[in-house]
Amino acid sequence: MDCQYLPLASTGQFSQLFLDYLSQKDSLRPFYSRFPDLAAFREQIQEKQLDQATRQILVRSLERQYQHIHNKPNVSALLQPNTFTVTTGHQLNIFTGPLYIVYKLITTITLARQLKEAYPEFNFVPVYWMATEDHDFAEINHFSLFGKHYVWQTEQRGAVGRMNPQELKTLFGQIPEKLTLFETAYLNHTTLADAVRYYINELFGAEGLICLDADDRDLKRIFSPVMRDELLKQTSGGLVQERTEQLEQLGYKTVIAPRDINLFYLEDQLRERIERREDGTYRVLHTKLSFSENELLALLDESPECFSPNVVLRPLYQETILPNLAYIGGPSEVPYWLQLKSVFEYFKAPFPLLMPRNFAMYVPAVAAKRIHKLGLTPEALFQDTITLKRAFVEHHTRHTLKFDKENKTVNQALDAILHKAQMVDPTLEKAVLAETKRFANAVVRLEQKMRRAEERNQETGVRQLLAVKNELFPNGGLQERSENFLTFYLNDRQFLRKMLAAFDPFNYQMQLCLES
């Protein structure tokens, strides 16, 4: 597989905040601790220490979660004080969702490998933080395979990790391909969290990847001091809002908006925001649930699993229960972490290294041959369709499709006509200029007609060009944001291993992976 690279800024696909972070712009320096190069991990290791009691609770929770999994990863390694994690997280999209989710996992695995080579005296465990408590079902209930869209319909509500996935049986009757791994995962487990853990372990368990479900009573108890502070003082929202305003003053668009209380109330079929009333009592939105302060704090002490951090506090929860060094995220995640550093400072928690995931476009052999035949560069592929087609036609034509030389001659003649007309009667200037404009518009129309005619002359090449463009940019967007990994894996069982071999977690560019 031949790999070619393109700066992310050249793709036109990423926000300025994300790009400026990658270029280490000075104005963003206060919003993170260290930039994620290999040397920074030495300092991060020195700063990040997790007490042994927390490690023991973490391992016990993971052992419970993996108790029915065969060929499970070595979770007990996390008991060792010289073992650290690198973490990515995502929602539990059915059938893994878009390609970029798999790319996040692969980036995390390859990062752990490279860190072990660089720092052999330490151990590094890749972790997939499963967003089991997320309740936005519409974001996970669909996937695309070979151009067809499949949707999971359900009446279930609340945290998606607690949902029963056996309803997906109806989808297997619609999918023409036999997907044994996913049938086993979804139809033999009673929660989506267990199903996802099963198939992720089948795909990546041999690479040491550990799946963590933080919807866990014991893990929440570790985090309960932060949640108590949030209920009583509502500190985090103000801190994030201040950072948000600072970023906006620098001209950036921010991703997340904090709440006064950044916690949800959680139980089966329910995940709703907690709000504090003016009289000091608390209510759970869209329910009849109401608590006094003492009642809510007693519930926190007795049942911390009933509380669920939102996007503001979830990163801190992650860093509280894991010996984590870096978070591997996408182009929306890295920017929102930049809004959170002051929350970590308030709770005296080390801020992790923020690493972009690998960005890739997989080019199957047929498309790769066409790209080579058409002489397309990575930069050209990311042009919009009109610009790409125009450049292709102009590059391959044997004719001149512009009247630049003729325009120059005619414009000189028109200038002479204008001069003569003004000498006879100055009021003729408007008439001459109007004719000049009409002529210029006529030239533009003629050039367009010539270009369309030449496009017809090059019909075969243009058709192949557009076919490649549409294949690699389905619906006009990046391949990795819509295609499922099965699109390529079902045709090549080595697809995941090839990507594992191709990715470099410290290469922050767009990677084109062309099959030979």
pLDDT in tens, 138-192: 999 999 999 899 999 999 999 999 999 999 999 999 999 999 999 999 999 999 9
Say how many CA atoms lie within 13 Å of 85 toward its Cβ.
31
Task: Name the 3-class secondary structure at 494.
Answer: coil
Pairing of strands 210-213, 148-151: unpaired
> What is the pLDDT, as a whole number, of residue 399?
52
Split into its structural domains, the chain has a count of 3
Reported residue count of the chain is 516
Is 324 inside a domain boundary?
A: yes
Tokens of 229: 């502070």
Q: Which of 64-68, 114-118, 289-293, 417-421 has the lowest mean pLDDT?
A: 417-421
Q: Could you tell me what percent of the chain has a pLDDT over 90?
A: 82
208 φ/ψ sector (left φ>0, alpha ψ -120 to 50, else beta): left
The reply to whether 77 and 186 lie within a common domain is yes
Phi, psi of 493 (to 5 degrees): -65, -10
Mean pLDDT of the chain: 93
Question: 263-291 burial, b if ≥16 CB within 10 A, otherwise e?
Answer: bbbbbeebbbbbebeeeeebbbeeeeeeb
Beta-carbon neighbour count of residue 371 at 10 Å? 22
Say how many CA atoms lie within 13 Å of 106 toward its Cβ.
21
Check whether 401 has a pLDDT greater than 60: no
> What is the pLDDT, as a whole number, of residue 329?
98
Phi, psi of 128 (to 5 degrees): -105, 110
Is 283 inside a domain boundary?
A: no
Distance CA 134, CA 271 (A): 8
- Cα distance from N-terminal residue to C-terminal residue, the chain: 6
- Sign of torsion over alpha carbons 124, 126, 132, 136: positive
The reply to whether 391 and 434 lie within a common domain is no
Is 135 inside a domain boundary?
A: yes
The reply to whether 367 and 437 lie within a common domain is no
The reply to whether 501 and 405 lie within a common domain is no
Is 347 inside a domain boundary?
A: yes
Q: How confident is the model at residue 433 (pLDDT cuts 50, 70, 90)?
A: confident
Q: Of the residues 435, 457, 479, which one is the last residue of a structural domain?
A: 457
Is 296 inside a domain boundary?
A: no
Burial label, 40 (beta-carbon count in 10 A; 0-12, 13-18, 19+): middle
For the stretch 347-396, pLDDT in tens is 999 999 999 999 999 999 999 999 998 888 999 999 998 888 887 766 66
The reply to whether 453 and 380 lie within a common domain is no
> What is the pLDDT, as a whole number, of residue 406?
66
Is 258 inside a domain boundary?
A: no
For the stretch 223-252, pLDDT in tens is 999 999 999 999 999 999 999 999 999 999
Q: Could you tell me what percent of the chain has a pLDDT over 70?
A: 94
Distance CA 60, CA 38 (A): 31
> What is the pLDDT, as a whole number, of residue 464?
86
Asked if 496 and 484 count as a contact pair (C-beta separation under 8 A), the reply is no
Is 25 inside a domain boundary?
A: no
Tokens of 462: 């243009």
Asked if 7 and 382 count as a contact pair (C-beta separation under 8 A), the reply is no
Q: How confident is the model at residue 402 (pLDDT cuts 50, 70, 90)?
A: low
The reply to whether 418 and 321 lie within a common domain is no
> What is the pLDDT, as a whole number, of residue 50?
96
Domain that holds residue 124: 32-223+306-357
Distance CA 410, CA 405 (A): 9
Burial label, 450 (beta-carbon count in 10 A; 0-12, 13-18, 19+): middle
Q: Which of 21-25, 397-401, 415-419, 488-492 has the lowest mean pLDDT?
A: 397-401
The reply to whether 432 and 312 lie within a common domain is no
Asked if 191 and 161 count as a contact pair (C-beta separation under 8 A), the reply is yes
For the stretch 108-142, pLDDT in tens is 999 999 999 999 999 999 999 999 999 999 999 99
The reply to whether 413 and 428 lie within a common domain is yes
Tokens of 180: 């044994």
> What is the pLDDT, as a whole number, of residue 458?
62
The reply to whether 428 and 508 lie within a common domain is no
Q: Of the residues 432, 457, 482, which one is the last residue of a structural domain?
A: 457
Is 382 inside a domain boundary?
A: yes
In sequence order, what E strands does 166-268 have?
Answer: 210-213, 263-267
> What is the pLDDT, as a whole number, of residue 455?
61
Sheet containing 353-356: give its strands across: 210-213, 123-130, 83-90, 324-329, 353-356
The reply to whether 431 and 511 lie within a common domain is no
Q: How confident is the model at residue 461 (pLDDT cuts 50, 70, 90)?
A: confident
The reply to whether 330 and 364 lie within a common domain is no
User: In the block, which residue shows the tokens 């509280």?
Assistant: 320
Distance CA 238, CA 445 (A): 58
The reply to whether 481 and 513 lie within a common domain is yes
